[in-house]
Amino acid sequence: MTPNTCPFEPFRLRNCALVVQSAGHRAQTLKELRDGLIQVPPSSLHYHFWGQLLRPRPDPDHYNDFAAWVARDVGDLETAERLDALNPSLFPNLESLREALLTVLEERLSRGDFLSWAKSRSDFFFVKAQMLVFDTGLEAETPEELGDQLSLSPSGCVFYHFVDALRRTPDGRDDFTFWLSGFGIPEDRLRPLTLLDPYLFSLRELRDRLATYIRDLGRDRS
């Protein structure tokens, strides 16, 4: 087997889209937002944090839907800032993220002031999403080919293989790292991929960074 031969199945790039559904809860106050967060399924948290990567961000000043609503419709900029500081990449699972959200809101509600119970200008609707996955017809047999194909792929491929994979796979690894490890690439060379925080970039930025680094990994082996 030559160094550039795929050691197992070729990497097949898949695209994805989210089909949005109601989670059955809505909020007009911070208390109702807290109550809703206790009851909605984890998929709702995933959508309200990560879903903005796959759709136009209505408020570019905020990273998640909760912070955007609290700032825009409740007018509580301090609490919105605290919610914005919650990076889901830093939590081991969605339940621990839920606990952090509830802590922020519980501490805010404990003040009992006007903004704790005031009604918002518009309701917050909790939603969840089902993922649809599509085959792009793009595949690669070497790291360099994967970098090239990834640069041509729709941005939803990055969401499916790099963002969603973190909660989909048992060991919490993205699909690119798992596949590349089959080529015997040392862990220290793959570490920059695992350290790349998808929450801090747009999907296009992520795609370009990933494609460049993966392509370079292939060239280093040749």
188-213 tens-digit pLDDT: 999 999 899 998 888 999 999 999 99
The per-residue pLDDT for range 46-73, each reduced to its tens digit, is 999 999 888 876 677 888 999 999 999 9
pLDDT at 63: 87
pLDDT at 62: 87
Q: What is the mean pLDDT of residues 79-91?
A: 94
Residues ≥6 apart with Cβ < 8 Å to 9: none
Give pTM, 2 decimals: 0.86
State phi, psi for 21 to the nearest 5 degrees.
-135, 155
The helix (H) or strand (E) run that includes residue 144 is helix 143-152
Q: What is the mean pLDDT of residues 133-158?
A: 94
Higher pLDDT, 219 or 62: 62
Q: What is the mean pLDDT of residues 149-154?
A: 94
The per-residue pLDDT for range 176-191, each reduced to its tens digit, is 999 999 888 888 999 9
Convert 176-188 to b/e letters by CB count within 10 Å (16 or more is b). Answer: bbebbeebebeee
State phi, psi for 160 to the nearest 5 degrees.
-70, -50
Residues forming a β-bridge with 125: 26
State phi, psi for 28 to the nearest 5 degrees.
-115, -15
Describe the crossing of helices 203-221 and 187-195 by its angle, rounded to 10 degrees: 170
pLDDT at 184: 86
Higher pLDDT, 96 or 185: 96
Describe the crossing of helices 42-50 and 94-109 by its angle, rounded to 10 degrees: 80
Residue with tokens 């839920």: 98
pLDDT of 222 over the 60 cut: no
